[in-house]
Structure 1
Amino acid sequence: MNLYRSARAVAGASGDDAVDWRSAAEAAKAATDAGSLDLAPGEREAYARDVREARAGIRDVSGAAFDVPDTIEIQNRHHWIDANVATFERVMAPVENHTEVFPGVARTINTGTMTVLLSFLGRNVLGQYDPLLLADRPADDHALYFVRPNILNAAAALEVDPNRFRRWIAFHEVTHAAEFGAAPWLSDHLESRMEQGIDALADGNFDRATFRELDAAMTVVEGYAELLMDHAFDDEYEDLRRKLDARRQGRGPLQQLFRRLLGLGLKQRQYERGKNFFEHVVRIRDLETASRVWEQPETLPSHDELDSPETWVRRIER
């Protein structure tokens, strides 16, 4: 980690765009310890085995027709930053398209902000199956990402077996592969809503309806993943969830601020709200009914229906 090199990269931000993405990636990596990829014997195969067994278990309980990526990438933190900087750039493109030239000071500030965000996420992301990352790539050219140094650090901090923790992360990421495999339209649906919301922000407006729709869709994504985990994971994992939540709550003020700025508290709320929705649907109907959310965009529950599962069930059964 070299903070001087990081600051120098940000200060040297150039170009006409809102963010100098090359400098942001360079600065984020300079400010972040890459972590070790010195894999133990059999560790690479253990990751692949976890993914294969997660696929089999989730297929059995969900009945969803999906596959997992051929590539299982075991990354360090710098690999994760390099893999995701292009996603950040693409998501921010609507803002840049609305402003022709950014003054140097604003560009430097923006580049510094993205550096901090990339560095913070690079130190905390455990695994990834990201629909926005995959949206512009061929269907047979995508990967599951596991950030090994973060997985090992989290397992040690939580005082849990690292192999069991890694397996839990694998199951969670494969549940997302199942969702996007069952609903090929979902990636474009999410990205179009995000672009629409950012376009409005770039014009100085806040499109409340679009962001509510995006929040509802992401709540379904997170909640259904939790539902599948409950049915497919071949071990009790409530202790892992409880310890991970306690660790997040126990972080210092600066880390808590970053989590709020990044919307990670919102993501936790999406987990809980979505899980409650699907548990209720399964209780009054079954898992097959719950899986109907993926038939088409129109079968996704609305923001209000997430708090009234019976209303959603009546609508789709008409």
Structure 2
Amino acid sequence: MNLYRSVRAVAGASGSDAIDWESAADAAKAATGPGSLALEPGERRAYASDVREARTAVRTVSGVEFDVPNTVEIQNRHHWIDANVETFERVMGTLEPHTDEFPGIARTINTGTMTVLLAFLGRNVLGQYDPLLLADAPDDDHALYFVRPNILNAAEQLDVDADRFRRWIAFHEVTHAAEFGAAPWLSTHLEERMEAGIANLSEGRFDRRTFRDLDAAMTVVEGYAELLMDHAFDDEYADLRRKLDARRQGRGPLQQLFRRLLGLGLKQRQYERGKRFFETVVDARDLETAALVWEGPEYLPSHDELDSPGLWIRRVER
């Protein structure tokens, strides 16, 4: 970790964009130790086995035929930052540079903010299913990442078996692959709302409806993944979830502030709200009814329906 090099990279932000993405990536990596990728014998095979077995179990539970990504990577933290700075740049590419009297100062501030985001997430993300939103290469349209140093560090902090914890992460990320496999329209649906929301922000407007639609869609994505995990994972995991939630809530005030600023509290709310919605639907009907959300964008529950699943059930069963 080299904080001086990180600050220097941010201070040297240049170019014509609102964010100097190369400087943000360099600064984030300078502020973040990469962690070890010295795999134990058989560890790579164990990751691959977890992914294959998760695919089989999730296919069986969901009834959805889908493939896991061709790109399955065991990464260190710097690898994750490099992969995700490209995603952030694609998603935020419509953000117009500041046209005020001090564009260089605004660019430096924006680059510093992105550096903090990438560095914090790079130290905390465990696994990631990446649908590569807004990517130009249709033949390579999704990827699956495991950030090995973070998985091992979290397992040690939580005092849980590292192999079991890794397997749980694999199952969770594969459930997301199942969702995008069940709903080929989902990537486009999310992309359109992200582009619209960011375009409005770049013009100084906040489109509440667009972000509410995006939040509702992501709540469905996270909630359905939790539903599949409940039925597909071949071991109890309530203890893992409880310990991970306690770890998040028990962190120091600075990390809690970062989580609020980065919207990670919102993500936790999406997990919980989405899980309640699908549990209610399955209790009232079955897994097949819950899977109707992937029939098309019009089947996604509205914000009101997420809190009143009976309204959604009556609408889709007409």
TM range (shorter): over 0.9
Change (3 A) 1:68 1:55: same
Question: What is the match of residue 119 of structure 2?
Answer: 119
Q: CA deviation at 1:36?
A: 0.2
Question: What is the match of residue 219 of structure 1?
Answer: 219
Question: What is the match of residue 237 of structure 1?
Answer: 237
> Any gaps of 5 or more consecutive residues in structure 1?
none
Aligned-partner SS, 1:200:
helix
Change (3 A) 1:287 1:134: farther
Question: What is the match of residue 40 of structure 2?
Answer: 40
Question: What is the match of residue 283 of structure 2?
Answer: 283
How large is the RMSD of aligned CA atoms in angstroms? Answer: 1.5
Aligned pair count reads: 318
- Supply the distance in 2 between the matched residues of 1:285 and 1:254 (Cα, whole angstroms): 44
- Contact 1:80/1:147 (<8 A) preserved: yes
Question: What is the match of residue 153 of structure 2?
Answer: 153
Question: What is the match of residue 63 of structure 1?
Answer: 63
Q: CA deviation at 1:131?
A: 2.9
Q: Say if 2:94 is the partner of 1:94.
A: yes
- Contact 2:132/2:143 (<8 A) preserved: no
Question: What is the match of residue 2 of structure 1?
Answer: 2
Which stretch has the larger CA shift, 129-138 or 74-83? 129-138
- Supply the distance in 2 between the matched residues of 1:203 and 1:104 (Cα, whole angstroms): 19
Per-residue displacement from partner, 1:236-289 (whole Å, max 9, x unpaired)?
A: 000000000000000111111111111110000000000000000001100000
- Supply the distance in 2 between the matched residues of 1:23 and 1:14 (Cα, whole angstroms): 8
- Supply the distance in 2 between the matched residues of 1:284 and 1:99 (Cα, whole angstroms): 54
TM-score by length of 2: 0.97
Alignment of 1:111-260 (within 5 A): 111-133=111-133, 135-140=135-140, 142-260=142-260
Question: What is the match of residue 75 of structure 1?
Answer: 75
> Any gaps of 5 or more consecutive residues in structure 2?
none
Q: CA deviation at 1:96?
A: 2.0
- Supply the distance in 2 between the matched residues of 1:171 and 1:229 (Cα, whole angstroms): 7
Q: CA deviation at 1:38?
A: 0.1
- Supply the distance in 1 between the matched residues of 2:247 and 2:267 (Cα, whole angstroms): 16
- Contact 2:90/2:135 (<8 A) preserved: no
- Contact 1:294/1:300 (<8 A) preserved: yes
- Supply the distance in 1 between the matched residues of 2:82 and 2:279 (Cα, whole angstroms): 38
Q: CA deviation at 1:300?
A: 0.5
- Supply the distance in 1 between the matched residues of 2:59 and 2:255 (Cα, whole angstroms): 37
Q: CA deviation at 1:98?
A: 7.6
Change (3 A) 1:135 1:303: farther
Per-residue displacement from partner, 1:65-121 (whole Å, max 9, x unpaired)?
A: 111012210000000000011111122222226859962111111111111111000
Aligned-partner SS, 1:184:
coil
Q: CA deviation at 1:137?
A: 3.4
- Contact 1:98/1:203 (<8 A) preserved: no
- Supply the distance in 2 between the matched residues of 1:98 and 1:195 (Cα, whole angstroms): 18
Question: What is the match of residue 266 of structure 1?
Answer: 266
Aligned-partner SS, 1:144:
strand
Change (3 A) 1:219 1:139: farther
Per-residue displacement from partner, 1:195-229 (whole Å, max 9, x unpaired)?
A: 11111122222111111111100000000000000
Structure 1 residue ranges, 4+ long, deviating more than 4 angstroms after superposition: 97-102, 132-135
- Contact 1:18/1:102 (<8 A) preserved: no
TM-score by length of 1: 0.97
- Contact 2:18/2:97 (<8 A) preserved: no
Question: What is the match of residue 85 of structure 2?
Answer: 85
Question: What is the match of residue 22 of structure 1?
Answer: 22
- Contact 2:127/2:169 (<8 A) preserved: yes
Amino acid at match of 2:12: G
Q: CA deviation at 1:315?
A: 0.6
Amino acid at match of 1:179: E
Which stretch has the larger CA shift, 300-309 or 83-92? 83-92
- Contact 1:216/1:302 (<8 A) preserved: yes
Aligned-partner SS, 1:96:
coil
- Supply the distance in 1 between the matched residues of 2:137 and 2:170 (Cα, whole angstroms): 22
- Contact 2:54/2:232 (<8 A) preserved: yes
